[in-house]
Structure 1
């Protein structure tokens, strides 16, 4: 039995599970192919029999990767938006954080995962992530008083998608972000000013 390197068995298992997922992520990102259990165990520093305590098969491992990649993306974007000072800053944080994740290779990893994972798991998780990403953006746009919230959210996502293509084709993050910010800052400033202007009825 492997030596426990945490204060409890549960913590030890959580650490080992995370190490295996991280190893599988690295191998998939490097090769674009489904990682074998043997390679994952070796990368994580575990004996292969120990790996079966966490994943029964390669398909089980791939499904776990799907469940790990997409929620982490959503959580990272949500955290950046929550840390922003104003609704306008939250919109900018939404776009910038997505660009940063793409630069770090998360989008390429998700794409590779979509090509190798079995069944409809990736499509389901992708739809769920898109919905989770939209929720804080939609709420922020409502707070800004935007009259056409769903349409505006989709337009902002169009900027994210266009930026992702530029980044993945070799354009550096700062160049892409400068272009997106130039487009978005006038919008968020105008929305904030409109929100702070008293209406004729309240004047």
Structure 2
């Protein structure tokens, strides 16, 4: 029985990822989850109390994988500047990834305070990855610079997700250039 519940929960999470990827937050509904998984709508509520609970679990499952991919890209870089560039490029490369969409799909305001805090802490762990590289580049306030750098990444993510007129590679190159010029300054 426990194995069956675990499989159903995994199927619901996969369906949620697909719905978010295909249609954004509006597409993530319990009737849509039920339809995708073949469960009754009432059965979906046995696994999750709300849409926010679905998103919270997706974030808990997917954010560490996403962060590990960013960290791995940074480790492959040979220099502090290369690590900063990898940090930006890898995050923007993940914009189309279903796991990434799940992490950013629903605004934090739809989550309860505990969920927002856990997600904020995970996000803080991501920002912490680049602090050392910024320090190695001689930045006087590497933590503050890392937070601001992440703001550039977040703006680029939104631009790419909007399907802006620019090609995603143009947005990425522009974000990298802004970050590296700012870091050098």
What TM-score does the superposition give when structure 2 sets the normalisation length? 0.71
Secondary structure of 1:113's aligned partner: coil
Change (3 A) 1:85 1:20: farther
The answer to whether structure 1 residue 19 and structure 2 residue 6 are counterparts is no
Structure 2, unmatched stretches of 5+, are none
Q: Distance in 1 between matches of 2:64 and 2:148?
A: 23
- Residues 66-125 of structure 1 show CA distances to partners (whole Å, capped at 9, x for unaligned) of 423443433332232223233221110111122122344666544542378442244223
Supply the distance in 2 between the matched residues of 1:96 and 1:15 (Cα, whole angstroms).
34
Q: Note if 1:77 corresponds to 2:93.
A: no
1:1-203 equivalences in 2 (<5 Å): 16-29=8-21, 30=23, 32-33=25-26, 34-36=28-30, 39-44=32-37, 47-48=39-40, 55=47, 57-58=49-50, 60-104=53-97, 109-114=102-107, 117-169=110-162, 170=164, 171-185=166-180
Instruction: Give RMSD over aligned pairs.
Output: 3.7
Q: Which runs of 5+ in 1 are unaligned?
A: 2-8, 192-203
Contact residue 90 and residue 140 of structure 1 kept, 8 A: yes
1:2-58 deviation digits (Å, cap 9, x = unpaired):
xxxxxxx86x8766543321111222442523431x5435424x5559x67x82544
Q: Is the 8 A contact 2:12 2:33 kept in 1?
A: yes
Task: Give 1 or 2 for the bigger CA radius of gyration.
Answer: 1
Count of residues paired in the alignment? 179
Moved more, 18-27 or 73-82: 73-82
